[in-house]
Structure 1
Amino acid sequence: MSRLNAPSPDGVSDGAKGILDNIDAQFGFVPNMFATLASNPTVLDVVMPLQGSLSRVLDAKTRHTIALAVSQANGCDHCLAMHTYASSELGGMSSDDIALARAGSSVDPRRAAVARFAQQVVKSRGQVSDADLAAVRGAGYTDPQILAIVTVAVQVLLTNFLNNVNRTDIDIPAVSPAGTPG
């Protein structure tokens, strides 16, 4: 059960209501995480534009791969469900590629390198080794792209932390728990 309270629909500010309406239009429903964030419109107004801005830094499948890899490494069941849903329904990723991303890999060698790197960023708390950087560069990523990978990983960590603190009720089709990829 969620530990933080989401406001009733009548208790949502006009600005937050507009954001939630956009989320509803995109997904066909408002996931519990966003409904809860609406209790603090400033936080919602930070998270949503950040996600929007970062949607332009890397291609969608790479961003989804990072989100799945990071959410798995950080043990966020709500985010795994959300990113699995988004990766499959909106991102065109296969169930095999989703499972591989959770395990720090991919059917695509470049995205496999990104998944491994993103998980290493989480596990090392950003203290990646020269070999970790060499591996992601060896897959063809430039330094500006590596900055984007780290920034997307940190944005995913933000929502992981929010959902882990809240223990947000999963209102998305369930996936296997964070401890079991795939």
Structure 2
Amino acid sequence: MPRLNIPTRDEAPETTHGVLDAIGKQLGFMPNGYRLMASSPAVLTGVTGLQRELSKTLDATTRHYISLAVSEVNACAYCVSAHSHVAGTFGKMPAAEIALAREGSSSDPKRAAAAQFAKRVTETRGKVTDADLASVRDAGYTDPQIIEIIALSVQFLLTNFINNVAETEIDFPESEATVA
């Protein structure tokens, strides 16, 4: 049972209904995580605004790898399940690649570098080593792209923390347990 109230769409502040409806249309249902954030219109608007802007960075598949690597580090069962479902259903990522992404890896070396760097950013709270930076640069990422990887990591960290605190009920197909 969630530790924070998750309003229904109609219980959520009216100013959030448009955003919730758009998310529901896109995914085919209104996820608990978004309804939870709708308790605070500022949080829902801030998170979805950040998501919208960062969806213009890198490519969708690389963003899936980052979301899964960060969510796994944070042991966010809700987000791992959500991102696994979205990556597999909409991103057409095979299960084996989803498993690699959760480890901070990929069969594609460039994506592996992005996922590993996001994992390191999360694990070290941003205090990555020179070797970590060299590795992501050697894979072909520019400094602006490295900043985007960091920002994406923080975006996923934010929703991981919200869902971990709330113990949000998983309403996506459940993934295997995360490693803390």
1:19-72 deviation per Cα after TM superposition (whole angstroms, max 9, x unaligned): 110000110001101111111111111111110110001100010000000000
Q: Which amino acid aligns with 2:59?
A: D
1:83 is matched with 83
Contact 2:76 2:163 in 1 (8 A): yes
Once the two structures are TM-superposed, the CA of residue 11 in structure 1 deviates from its matched residue by: 2.0
Q: Which amino acid aligns with 2:118?
A: A
Once the two structures are TM-superposed, the CA of residue 5 in structure 1 deviates from its matched residue by: 0.5
TM-score (norm 2): 0.97
Q: Distance in 1 between matches of 2:36 and 2:170?
A: 12
Contact 2:70 2:156 in 1 (8 A): yes
Structure 2 residues not aligned, in runs of 5+ = none
2:178 is matched with 178
1:49 is matched with 49
Q: What is the RMSD computed on CA atoms of the aligned residues?
A: 1.1
SS at match of 2:119: helix
TM-score (norm 1): 0.96
5 Å-filtered alignment, 1:27-176, equals: 27-176=27-176
SS at match of 1:106: coil
Q: Which amino acid aligns with 2:76?
A: C
Once the two structures are TM-superposed, the CA of residue 78 in structure 1 deviates from its matched residue by: 0.3
Q: Percent identity?
A: 51
Q: Distance in 2 between matches of 1:8 and 1:98?
A: 30
Q: Distance in 2 between matches of 1:35 and 1:80?
A: 18
Moved over 6 A (4+): none
Contact 2:4 2:166 in 1 (8 A): yes
Q: Which amino acid aligns with 1:36?
A: L
Q: Distance in 2 between matches of 1:150 and 1:92?
A: 24
